[in-house]
């Protein structure tokens, strides 16, 4: 059997080497059928020989044996961060993606999961067993861990960090600009939000996105809000591209923005020689020879499930960014963040978290097809996880957003009723340890209810917002020096792998 035929065999749902793979209409117990229901169900045919699994195992062994090591230097680096993409989120997104394309889901792979180099990443911060996005993204961008809430400053630094740039850790983006590379940021969150801000800003508090919230002692110490730092970024020749949400932090309150100082930072960006767009059409039509600031929403960009046809997807924004940056012969550094995976999890809304994770995977696939991987290192990771779980012994092919339906006792394909908890009521496969939604005191859920995009999964511990987790996350890598991403690693080590891949002198990073 050829590698190609093995790949084809692994991409369809069958437990026998010669079994039929005819998709069936989902039984009534599995909720509404149709592509929008993410409820695809296929018959399980057991051959009893295990041939498919032996073949698949041999295929994956061959892939690992033949995996070449790319020992060259990187001209370009792209870091993809899905905010809050825990390992459970990756697994559920893999199944969600597969089911949305008519598979049972479990056998699916997201594009980056086929890469040959992975590591588990320890996410704790300088002061937290469970971290936030500010500390974790700062570790990736500066090579040092800091405390929760801090944006690219050393641990325990407060107002003194505003007084001198010499006392601050350099970020990957700053180092890239100093070496003449083009740089860019794309995010589905506000550009002033924690993760994207760590690339270009230094501030003791992640909350200082706009001048109106700076306390008096911070102003006196010379602290600048994050939006202002983006526009005034003066390393190298400045940012070539920054696209995301957060327009309100750049506009004065007199025009519907949030700034108390009366400044219009978008106008200042244009005065500095840049192009500005606040919608998809203008963004796509913007001149390629001018630095581009795209602020496509007042706050965060919409969730993928809520995105209108006239609004750009994360994959489209990523494609635009790569197209603009890869013309630089000196290379580029690009950060792409799927920020809203985190927001959906905080609201215990698994459907939107998984849809945004799926779009994140599509953005990665598009970028990897556009660049030369012999000279471009791509790292995919999360900043932290969430207390999100997949549980309850659902049968294979069970809709990932649905109620738990166990396998039939006789291993047949017959539909089964939902499994029930000790209170006699059904429950979902997906759930959260903490969060804002608890099981109602009475009544019984249906598959149609729980598979609605607005359904919020149940939480064991009632809280106003679901919380982050302290578990490790995964990093995936391809391209030059990708083999260095392996084993169990501190999160800040990713920075050092990237600078080594670029061939930068360690002494120049300090």
Is 337 annotated to bind a ligand? Reply is yes
342 labelled binding-site residue: yes
Catalytic pick among 100, 104, 133, 368: 133
DSSP letter, residue 418: P
Does 193 count as an annotated binding residue? yes
Q: Is the Cβ–Cβ distance between 133 and 189 less than 8 Å?
A: no
Q: Identify whether the C-beta of residue 321 lies closer than 8 Å to the C-beta of residue 186.
A: yes
Give me the phi and psi of 226, to 5 degrees please. Answer: -65, -40
- Quickly list DSSP for 199-220: HH--BS-TT-SSGGG--HHHHH
- Burial code (b: 16+ CB inside 10 Å, e: under 16) for 177-205 equals beeebbbbbbbbbbbbbbbbbbbbbbbbb
- Asked if 100 is an active-site residue, the reply is no
202 is in an annotated binding site: no
Q: Is 468 annotated as a binding residue?
A: yes
83 is in an annotated binding site: yes
Rounded Cα gap, residues 241 and 388, in angstroms: 34
Q: What are phi and psi of 152, to 5 degrees?
A: 50, 45
Closest by CA position to 127, among listed 147, 144, 143, 142: 147
Tell whether residue 423 is among the known ligand binding residues: no
3 Cα distance to chain centroid: 31
261 annotated to bind ligand: no
Does the annotation flag 141 for ligand binding? no
Instruction: Give the number of C-alpha atoms closer than 13 A to the C-alpha of residue 402, restricted to the C-beta side.
Output: 32
Strands 292-295 and 376-381: unpaired
DSSP string, 110-154: -GGGGSSEEEEEE---SS-SS--HHHHHHHHHHSS---TT-BSS-
CA 233 vs CA 199, 272, 287, 328: distances in Å: 11, 11, 21, 20
Q: How many residues does the chain have?
A: 510
Residue with tokens 């018959």, as numbered in its chain: 43
Q: Where are the alpha helices (DSSP H) in 445-504?
A: 447-450, 493-502
* Beta sheet of 241-245, edge-to-edge order: 275-277, 292-295, 241-245, 182-190, 332-338, 76-82, 376-381, 473-478, 117-122, 487-490
Give CA–CA dist 474/235, Å, rounded: 31
Catalytic amino acids? 133
Binding-site residue ranges for Mg(2+): 83, 193, 195, 337
Q: Return binding residues for Zn(2+).
A: 83, 342, 346, 383-384, 468
Q: Which residues sit in the known binding site?
A: 83, 193, 195, 337, 342, 346, 383-384, 468
């Amino acid at each position: 059997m050829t590698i190609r035929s093995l790949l084809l065999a692994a991409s369809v749902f069958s437990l026998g080497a010669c079994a039929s793979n005819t998709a069936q209409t989902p039984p009534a117990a599995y909720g509404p059928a149709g592509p929008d229901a993410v409820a695809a169900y296929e018959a399980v045919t057991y051959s009893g020989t295990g041939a498919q699994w032996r073949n698949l195992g041999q295929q994956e062994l061959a892939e690992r044996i033949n995996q070449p090591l790319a020992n060259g230097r990187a001209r370009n680096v792209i870091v993809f961060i899905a905010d809050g993409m825990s390992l459970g989120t990756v697994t559920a997104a893999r199944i969600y993606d597969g089911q949305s394309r008519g598979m049972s889901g479990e056998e699916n792979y997201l594009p980056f999961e086929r890469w040959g180099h992975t590591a588990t990443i320890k996410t704790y911060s300088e002061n937290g067993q469970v971290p936030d996005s500010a500390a974790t993204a700062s570790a990736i961008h500066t090579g040092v861990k800091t405390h929760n809430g801090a944006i690219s400053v050393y641990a325990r630094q407060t107002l003194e960090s505003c007084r001198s740039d010499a006392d601050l850790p350099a970020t990957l983006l700053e180092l890239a600009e100093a070496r003449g590379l083009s740089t860019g940021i794309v995010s589905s969150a506000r550009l002033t939000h924690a993760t994207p801000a760590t690339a270009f800003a230094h501030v003791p508090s992640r909350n200082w996105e706009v001048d109106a919230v700076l306390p008096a002692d911070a102003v006196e110490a010379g602290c600048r809000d994050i939006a202002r730092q983006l526009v005034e970024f003066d390393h190298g020749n400045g940012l070539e591209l920054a696209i995301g949400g957060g327009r309100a932090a750049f506009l004065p309150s007199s025009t519907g923005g949030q700034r108390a100082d009366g400044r219009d930072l978008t106008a200042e960006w244009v005065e500095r020689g840049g192009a500005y767009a606040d919608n998809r059409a203008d963004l796509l039509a913007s001149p390629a020879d001018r630095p581009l600031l795209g602020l496509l929403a007042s706050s965060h960009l919409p969730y993928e499930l809520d995105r209108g046809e006239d609004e750009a997807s994360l994959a489209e924004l990523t494609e635009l960014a790569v197209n603009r940056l890869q013309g630089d012969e000196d290379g580029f550094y690009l950060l792409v963040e799927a920020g809203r995976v985190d927001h959906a999890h905080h609201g215990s809304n698994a459907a939107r978290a998984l849809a945004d994770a799926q779009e994140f995977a599509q953005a990665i696939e598009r970028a990897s097809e556009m660049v030369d991987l012999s000279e471009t290192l791509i790292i995919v990771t999360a900043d932290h996880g969430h207390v999100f779980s997949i549980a309850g012994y659902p049968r294979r092919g069970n809709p990932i957003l649905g109620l738990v339906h166990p396998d039939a006792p006789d291993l047949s394909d017959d539909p089964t009723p939902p499994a029930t908890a000790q209170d006699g009521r059904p429950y979902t496969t997906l759930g959260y340890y903490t969060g804002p939604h608890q099981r109602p005191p009475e009544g019984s859920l249906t598959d149609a209810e729980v598979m609605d995009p607005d359904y919020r999964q149940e939480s064991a511990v009632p809280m106003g917002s679901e919380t982050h987790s302290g578990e490790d996350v995964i990093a995936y890598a391809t391209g030059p020096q990708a083999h260095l991403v392996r084993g169990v690693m501190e999160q800040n080590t990713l920075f050092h792998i990237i600078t080594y891949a670029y061939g930068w002198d360690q002494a120049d990073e300090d």
